[in-house]
């Protein structure tokens, strides 16, 4: 039964994960809307997950640690998205804005 | 289907093309099956609800109004497609698609007959849950893309309802996962062979083997002894006849009513309250898509409830026909498909019945019902299911020497398990119901708290 | 069959990257969220291609079914009703473009392409056994029991924290503003900005002081 390990070389998958991470990094750094920044962070977490699953599949497919690690990353990402969005809502209530540039009362 | 096609045209085409064509044919058959049922369901609902409301229902178009859904379809096709001016065009367009596609995907893993499941995933139950969660995104897109405050509000309430009732539904399905030892839907009807309550535990005592018409050889029962045994099989060992399965079925069915937005949980589409909720700004074919999505979702959830708790395609005679071998296997498959369809239609009739009988729940009553009643019951049910599995299938070593049930026959273990879980389930149900009926506690009243 | 898998991988990869690039570049934040959901689907499909079925289904369930709805709710609760005339990129976006591009081109690609991955040789006869859902479940109950319980407590803490942070006392709860009130609020803000002394270094254009995205 042909599988992905024969059809697609590992560097390709890692390059995809790296590219996704860089796109997410660009989004997180350049967006003004705080929710937009959070979208970039979610992309980065997905890229990390692809990396983990690729390494699991290509190097040690019979050990379950790779998938477990990826599941924990998904769990933590969900928890962090929940709290981040709650904070965004709280900031919106206090300052009527979600523009990251305007929440600058600590700026020197 | 792949094998059938391979035997016919295997030499002419490359293998991957045969696989592709086979799956395309199976997909077409399943979709036609679902849409055919949808048409009948629309007719049945209108007639039955009408009779319950002491009126006749549509009876003009065709004999007994059977062509009424066709008339409805013609009307939907020819209606003007209105898009509000400031609405987000693409979101408004894609929302019905995102609502319907997951529902169609759910139909792919349900075993429609003995040997007739389109795909056998070993995470099938989780797949169904995941795919039903995606339709929530479609709802949000519909509410947002309509540029209408009421549609948005309706969408938010609908999503809150959907997400809240996913949890008791998934937890009730977790009971099935515990009982079956895996998440595959293919095995579930096979495991529900046997006799009511006792399942497949009444074994054949005759060393020469018993008649294959009444007794089935069980080899793949999780925890079954290593050599195949023959158990009395009337095709009725459905889990709904055990206390664990009964509570799980009730919880899952109520949660499925809420997932499918049927009365008494139909706040998202309550005409008298919020016009049509998230579907307000939709007309013509897009509205028809939402309508189809809702009915096929109910069909799929009824099929899932039937497979998980009511034995799926199991029924009297299926195993007997299958054990006779040869061409009778196809007769067994056809009989099993008929059984599953009958169960789905009985469940759908109960859904219509509830629609005719109950008023609608308020939003806060809805939330209370999910979180304070259904979820605790589902959690207690998982405890009972675990006890049931461990009593019937664990060896003494797995019990760590606490209890040793190895000496008992399998039917005795089953009986013990049924009694223990019945006690736990009845006690827990009574307790949780009585808690929920207490009046709400008083807020702390400052004046009443007096320092000594 | 190998070429089919390669083609599928390339299709998924292109889909994921296009969806990600659209996520970070479209102006309308709701569209960006919907593109993010598409990329989640793509990643889930990729997991299925890599034969991590439980993970693929869990990705769709958690990300598309829950996190996406959370993000959409948050967007809808924090809407600014002015429309999307504002640029959504910060003024120094070219640095934000340069750093990831440099990271990708100068660090990631050379490392990945030139490293000698010690891939195990393909097994002689039978395909390797791939750990599936059952092994994951067993591992969670045996070797990884403590992290599993800690993750459960983490989720509980996150849930409680989110409720506490976003909770609004009953007397402070605002109702939805009427159109007249919105117009009055907008005029007030413009007056405030107009009467403010201009700071020496200003990173924010005056017309965008009212900020926010739709």
What is the rounded CA–CA span in Å between residue B345 and residue B37?
9
Query: What is the residue-level pLDDT of chain B in tens, covering all 452 positions?
Result: 656 666 666 666 677 777 778 888 888 999 999 999 999 999 999 899 999 988 888 888 888 888 888 888 888 888 888 888 877 788 888 999 999 999 999 998 999 988 788 888 888 999 999 998 898 899 888 888 888 788 888 888 888 888 889 999 999 999 999 988 888 888 888 888 777 877 777 776 666 666 666 666 665 454 455 556 667 777 777 888 889 999 999 999 999 998 888 877 777 776 556 566 777 778 888 888 988 999 999 999 999 999 999 988 888 888 778 777 778 888 888 888 999 999 999 999 999 999 888 888 887 888 888 889 999 999 999 999 999 888 887 776 677 767 776 777 777 888 888 898 999 999 999 999 988 887 665 544 445 555 54
Give chain B positions within 8 Å (CB) of C68.
137
Give chain A positions within 8 Å (CB) of C149.
none
Which residues of C lie inside 8 Å of B (Cβ-Cβ)?
A: 1, 4, 28, 30-31, 34, 37, 53-54, 57-58, 60-61, 64-66, 68-69, 72-73, 76, 132-134, 176
DSSP structure string for C138-178? HHHHTTTHHHHHHHHHHHHHHHHHHHHHH---GGGPPPPPP
Given an 8 Å threshold on Cβ–Cβ distance, is A99 in contact with C212? Answer: yes
Q: Assign B81 to helix, strand or coil.
A: coil
Q: Is A69 on the interface with C (CB under 8 A)?
A: no
- Residue of A3, A56, A97 with shortest CB distance to C211: A97
Helix residue ranges, H only, chain C: 2-25, 29-49, 53-59, 68-77, 93-102, 109-114, 133-141, 145-166, 179-195
Domain boundaries, chain C: 1-79, 133-172
Q: C32: nearest CA in chain B? A: B91
Given an 8 Å threshold on Cβ–Cβ distance, is C109 in contact with A15? Answer: yes
| C-beta of residue B298 within 8 angstroms of C-beta of residue B266 | no
Both structure tokens of A41: 């962070």
DSSP structure string for B221-284? -TT--SS-EEEE--S---GGGSHHHHHHHHHHHHHHHHHTT-TTS-GGG-HHHHTTGGGTT--T
Q: Is A95 on the interface with C (CB under 8 A)?
A: no
Work out the end-to-end distance of chain B between its first and last CA atoms, rounded to an integer number of angstroms. 81
Give the start-end residues of each E strand in B42-131. none
Give chain A positions within 8 Å (CB) of C77.
89, 92
Task: Enumerate domains of chain A plus CATH numbers.
Answer: 9-99 (1.10.287.3510)
pLDDT, position C125? 55
pLDDT, position C202? 46
Q: Which residues contact B135 (CB under 8 A, 6 or more apart)?
A: B98, B99, B102, B103, B162, B293, B297
Q: How many CB pairs under 8 A join A and C?
A: 270
pLDDT, position C203? 47
pLDDT confidence tier of residue C211, bands split at 50, 70 and 90: very low
What is the rounded CA–CA span in Å between residue B344 and residue B304?
9
Give chain C positions within 8 Å (CB) of A77.
67
Give chain A positions within 8 Å (CB) of C103.
22, 25
Given an 8 Å threshold on Cβ–Cβ distance, is C34 in contact with B123? Answer: no
Given an 8 Å threshold on Cβ–Cβ distance, is A4 in contact with C9? Answer: yes
Residue A103 Cα, gap to closest chain C Cα (Å): 11
What is the rounded CA–CA span in Å between residue C181 and residue C178?
5
CA distances from B14 to B10, B19, B24 (A): 8, 9, 16
Mean pLDDT, range C26-36, rounded to an integer: 91
Is residue A90 over pLDDT 80?
A: yes
Q: C60: nearest CA in chain B? A: B130
| C-beta of residue A21 within 8 angstroms of C-beta of residue C21 | no
Helical axes B89-106 vs C29-49, angle rounded to 10°: 30
Q: Which residues contact B315 (CB under 8 A, 6 or more apart)?
A: B235, B236, B335, B336, B339
What backbone torsions phi and psi does residue B230 show, to the nearest 5 degrees? -105, 130
Q: How large is the ipTM?
A: 0.92
Residue B99 Cα, gap to closest chain C Cα (Å): 12
| C-beta of residue B352 within 8 angstroms of C-beta of residue B48 | yes
- Residue of A63, A96, A101 with shortest CB distance to C203: A101
pLDDT confidence tier of residue C124, bands split at 50, 70 and 90: low
For the domain made up of C1-79, give the CATH fold.
Answer: 1.20.120
Is the model more confident about C156 or about B113? C156
Q: B184: nearest CA in chain C? A: C133
Given an 8 Å threshold on Cβ–Cβ distance, is A72 in contact with C147? Answer: yes
What is the rounded CA–CA span in Å between residue B379 and residue B248?
10
Length of chain A: 108
Is the model more confident about B429 or about C210? B429
pLDDT confidence tier of residue C55, bands split at 50, 70 and 90: very high
Q: Which residues contact A96 (CB under 8 A, 6 or more apart)?
A: C80
Candidates B133, B177, B259, partner chain C, best to mutate (most C CBs within 10 A): B133
């Amino acid at each position: 039964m042909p599988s992905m390990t024969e059809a697609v070389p590992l560097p390709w998958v890692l390059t995809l994960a790296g590219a996704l991470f860089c796109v997410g990094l660009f989004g997180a750094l350049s967006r003004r809307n705080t929710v937009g920044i959070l979208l970039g962070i979610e992309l980065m977490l997905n890229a990390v997950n692809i990396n983990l699953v690729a390494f699991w599949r290509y190097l040690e497919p019979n050990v379950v640690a790779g998938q477990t690690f990826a599941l924990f990353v998904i769990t933590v990402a969900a928890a962090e998205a929940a709290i981040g969005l709650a904070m965004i809502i709280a900031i919106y209530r206090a300052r009527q804005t979600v523009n990251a540039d305007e929440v600058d009362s600590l700026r020197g | 289907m792949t094998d059938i096609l391979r035997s016919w045209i295997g030499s002419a085409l490359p293998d991957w093309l045969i696989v592709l064509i086979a799956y395309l044919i199976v997909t077409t058959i399943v979709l036609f099956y679902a849409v055919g049922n949808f048409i009948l369901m629309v007719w049945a609902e209108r007639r039955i609800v009408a009779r319950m409301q002491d009126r006749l229902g549509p009876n003009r178009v065709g004999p007994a109004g059977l062509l009424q859904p066709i008339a409805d379809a013609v009307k939907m096709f020819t209606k003007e497609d209105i898009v509000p001016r400031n609405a987000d065009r693409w979101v408004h367009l894609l929302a019905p698609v995102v609502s319907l596609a997951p529902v169609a995907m759910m139909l792919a893993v349900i075993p429609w007959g003995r040997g007739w499941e389109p795909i056998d995933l070993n995470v099938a139950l989780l797949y169904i849950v995941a795919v039903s969660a995606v339709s929530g995104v479609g709802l949000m897109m519909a509410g947002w893309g309509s540029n209408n405050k009421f549609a948005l509000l309706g969408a938010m309430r609908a999503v809150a309802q959907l997400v809240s009732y996913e949890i008791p539904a998934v937890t009730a399905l977790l009971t099935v996962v515990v009982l079956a030892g895996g998440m595959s839907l293919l095995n579930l009807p096979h495991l529900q062979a046997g006799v009511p309550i006792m399942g497949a535990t009444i074994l054949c005592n005759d060393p020469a083997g018993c008649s294959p018409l009444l007794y089935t050889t069980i080899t793949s029962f999780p925890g079954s002894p290593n050599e195949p045994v023959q158990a009395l099989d009337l095709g009725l060992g459905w889990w709904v006849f055990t206390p664990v399965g009964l509570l799980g079925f009730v919880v899952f069915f109520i949660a499925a009513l809420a997932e499918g937005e049927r009365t008494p949980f139909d706040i998202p589409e309550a005409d008298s309250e919020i016009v049509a909720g998230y579907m307000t700004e939709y007309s013509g074919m897009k509205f028809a898509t939402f309508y189809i999505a809702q009915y096929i979702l109910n069909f799929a959830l009824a099929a899932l409830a039937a497979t998980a708790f009511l034995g799926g395609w199991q029924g009297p005679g299926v195993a007997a026909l299958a054990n006779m071998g040869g061409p009778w296997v196809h007769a067994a498959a056809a009989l099993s498909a008929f059984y599953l369809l009958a169960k789905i239609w009985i469940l759908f009739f109960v859904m219509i019945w509830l629609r005719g009988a109950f008023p609608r729940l308020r939003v806060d009553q809805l939330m209370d019902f999910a979180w304070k009643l259904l979820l605790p019951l589902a959690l207690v049910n998982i405890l009972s299911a675990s006890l049931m599995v461990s009593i019937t299938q664990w060896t003494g070593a797995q019990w760590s020497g606490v209890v040793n049930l190895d000496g008992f026959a399998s039917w005795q273990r089953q009986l013990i398990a049924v009694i223990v879980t019945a006690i736990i389930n009845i006690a827990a149900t009574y307790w949780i119901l009585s808690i929920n009926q207490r009046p709400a506690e008083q807020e702390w009243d400052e004046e009443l708290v007096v320092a000594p | 069959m190998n070429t089919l898998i390669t083609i599928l991988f390339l299709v998924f990869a292109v889909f994921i990257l296009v969806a990600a690039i659209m996520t970070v570049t479209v102006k309308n934040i709701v569209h960006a969220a919907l593109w993010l959901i598409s990329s989640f689907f793509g990643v889930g499909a990729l997991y299925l291609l890599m034969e991590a079925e439980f993970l693929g289904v869990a990705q769709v369930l958690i990300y598309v079914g829950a996190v996406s709805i959370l993000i959409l709710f948050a967007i809808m609760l924090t809407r600014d009703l002015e429309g999307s005339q504002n640029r959504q990129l910060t003024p120094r976006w070219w640095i934000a473009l340069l750093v990831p591009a440099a990271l990708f081109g100068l660090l990631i690609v050379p490392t990945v392409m030139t490293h000698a991955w010690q891939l195990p040789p393909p097994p002689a006869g039978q395909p390797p056994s791939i750990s599936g859902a059952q092994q994951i479940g067993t591992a969670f109950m045996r070797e990884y029991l403590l992290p599993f319980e800690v993750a459960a407590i983490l989720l509980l803490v996150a849930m409680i924290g989110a409720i506490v942070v976003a909770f609004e006392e009953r007397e402070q709860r605002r109702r939805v503003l009427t159109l007249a009130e919105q117009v009055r609020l907008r005029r007030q803000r413009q007056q405030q900005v107009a009467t403010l002394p201009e700071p020496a270094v200003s990173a924010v254009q005056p017309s965008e002081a009212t900020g926010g995205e739709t």
